[in-house]
Amino acid sequence: MFVNTTMNTHFIPIFPLNLIVFPTEKLNLHIFEPRYKQLITEIAETKGAFGITLFDKGKVAKYGTEMHLLDIAQIYPNGEMDIRTQGRRVFELLHFQAQAPHRLYPWGEVTYKENVLDADDHTAIELTQALKKLHELLNVRKEFPNFDSFTIAHYVGLGKDELLYLLTLDRESERQQFLLYHLNNWLPTLEQEQFIKEKVQMNGHFRDLPELKF
């Protein structure tokens, strides 16, 4: 059981992956490495949480998302697992260790970031319209249970660096503006590409993010 080092920092298990997860996002994973089998087994027993951080180009990102284990869907004879998780809140990684004391898995000292829910209604309408236009251009049909920045982030064409930057923003209004700026700058290029494709009778396609089925 990990303990707080101060009132504001915490030690939590860290699971570096080559992806970015947002608060409220659900993520299904297949666990096969011994260190992460140990991590998930302990989390299941203690009802604790762990963090997912982007691991890219040999580096662990400075920001990540605390994850809640919803359930272990299946345990295989060799100890591998299929698990369901959901993002909770964003943290800043202050210190990372490749192996926690007396454990196989990594851990880190983190501080949790504030999330100010100050969405702007006018910006939300503009963002909705821009995203609808994007998906029409790419022939995508996607409905969102909630229309907030974290929910739609994976569906606006952001790269890893941009997704990571979005994770660092504390205010919903700032995230709205960032996404709208990206869409307003990207859409004219896509419209031109669509025009060219239609002229030469070609069809573009957009690959929706698949959900892992157990």
Residue found by looking up tokens 């990206």 in the block: 182
Q: What confidence score (pLDDT) does residue 200 get?
A: 40
- The residues that bridge with 86 in the sheet, in sequence order, are 26, 68
Q: For residues 148 and 119, is the Cβ–Cβ distance under 8 A?
A: yes
Least confident interval from 24-33, 36-45, 135-144, 191-200: 191-200
Helix (H, G, I), strand (E, B) or coil at 112: strand
Residue 31 phi/psi, 5-degree rounding, is: -100, 120
- pLDDT (tens digit, 9 = 90+) per residue, 49-69? 999 999 999 999 999 999 999
- The domains of the chain are located at 10-112, 121-199
Q: Please give the structure tokens belonging to residue 21.
A: 């997860």
Look at residues 136, 123, 137 and name the one whose alpha carbon lies nearest to residue 180.
123
Is residue 98 within a helix (H) or strand (E), and if so which, with residue range? none
Q: Please give the structure tokens belonging to residue 116.
A: 């100010």
Q: Please give the structure tokens belonging to residue 202.
A: 């070609």
Rounded CA separation 67/142 (Å): 25
129-150: average pLDDT: 88
Q: pTM for the whole thing?
A: 0.84
Q: What confidence score (pLDDT) does residue 195 get?
A: 58
**High-pLDDT (> 70) share of the chain, %:** 87
Helix (H, G, I), strand (E, B) or coil at 65: strand
Q: What confidence score (pLDDT) does residue 167 get?
A: 97
Q: Is the pLDDT of residue 5 over 60?
A: no
- pLDDT (tens digit, 9 = 90+) per residue, 119-132? 999 999 999 999 99
Q: Please give the structure tokens belonging to residue 129.
A: 């319209």
Q: Is 195 left (phi over 0), alpha (psi -120 to 50) or beta?
A: alpha
Q: Which CATH number is 10-112's, of 3.30.540.10, 3.40.50.280, 1.10.600.10, 2.30.130.40? A: 2.30.130.40
- pLDDT (tens digit, 9 = 90+) per residue, 38-50? 999 999 999 999 9
Q: For residues 156 and 131, is the Cβ–Cβ distance under 8 A?
A: yes
Instruction: Determine the Cα angle at 88 with ends 90 and 4, to 5°.
Output: 70
CB atoms within 10 A of CB 39: 24
Reported confidence tier of residue 205, pLDDT bands at 50, 70, 90: very low
